[in-house]
Amino acid sequence: MVRIIPMASSIRPALSLFRFSDDVATTRFGLSLSPLHLPRRLLFSYLGSTVPHLQFFGMKASKMLRAERSRAGMPLVRNVVQASTAAAQETALEWVKKDKRRMFHVVYRVGDLDRTIKFYSECLGMKLLRKRDIPEERYTNAFLGYGPEDSHFVIELTYNYGVDKYDIGTAFGHFGIAVEDVAKTVELIKAKGGKVTREPGPVKGGTTVIAFVEDPDGYKFELIERGPTPEPLCQVMLRVGDLDRSINFYEKAFGMELLRTRDNPEYKYTIAMMGYGPEDKNAVLELTYNYGVTDYEKGNGYAQCILHMGTK
């Protein structure tokens, strides 16, 4: 699941379509707020809302509607609609120019919040950014990452009271973390009692040094050897049953860019990297297609990825 957090924007769609929490609006149906990505019916509704009131032209709406029946009245109405549509499209283009989209939070469930926070802090070098308890709804959140939420991709852990185990499923793959020395990081994780599932070494078919480790709940992390980067928490890997369809969805629905693809026929899989900027500076989505596999189990551990959509 992908949830969208629209931030400051010059476009104000109808309020009935959204629910608000403090200063953050979230679409009820998980849709992008950009008019360029709205469904046709919703887009037309938005464009129609910009048509000036008919009283503006010096007559009541009822008179104008009667006048529409005449051949002389039709061009006037048509011109009004065309002009207002053009204005709305121009506004939408300005929004896109100022848009600063990025991957914002990744949300998943854990069985022991304190244990997970300790592992991420001591083994992966993350910082606990904030924590909130919601006793009336019986859950607690913890936010961890390598920098402030307003400028970095962060992890949002959810602990549900009394639930100590989750099914991760097969659709979720792993998270990626960029480190300057994979071997050194792996040794630290081993010393802290962490589980290493792949020792450091070059990626299959490439030269980049990687390793895989698991957190206490079984979520996998790929350690990627890379120089200093502003976004160490750099990947979320998901498995998909139709790569072309998924690429098209993330491009059209969320405005992501296809950064690159790599086919590995020897190992029977293809990957596509998608995001809002270069991999070495932004968190990206890694889609993996395994030859002939069209269906995966979602499980109930991994929840969603939240996108920042706005101009600030």
Binding site per annotation, positions for Zn(2+): 156, 174, 222
Closest CA to 249 of 264, 265, 233, 238: 238
**Residues 6 or more apart whose Cβ sits within 8 Å of residue 220:** 173, 174, 175, 197, 212, 213, 214
Catalytic residue among 68, 137, 180, 222: 222
Q: 222 catalytic, yes or no? A: yes
- Which residues in 296-305 are b (16+ Cβ under 10 Å) and which e? beeeebbbeb
- Written as one letter, the residue type at 60 is K
CA angle 282, 288, 291 (to 5 degrees): 160
Q: What are phi and psi of 246, to 5 degrees?
A: -65, -40
Q: Facing residues of 145 across strands?
A: 127
For residue 78, what are its two tokens?
Answer: 């048509």
Contact in structure between 242 and 297 (CB atoms under 8 Å): no
Buried b (16+ CB within 10 A) or exposed e, 132-163: eeeeeeebbbbbbbbbeeeebbbbbbbbeeee
H or E segment to which residue 198 belongs: strand 195-202
* Catalytic site positions: 222
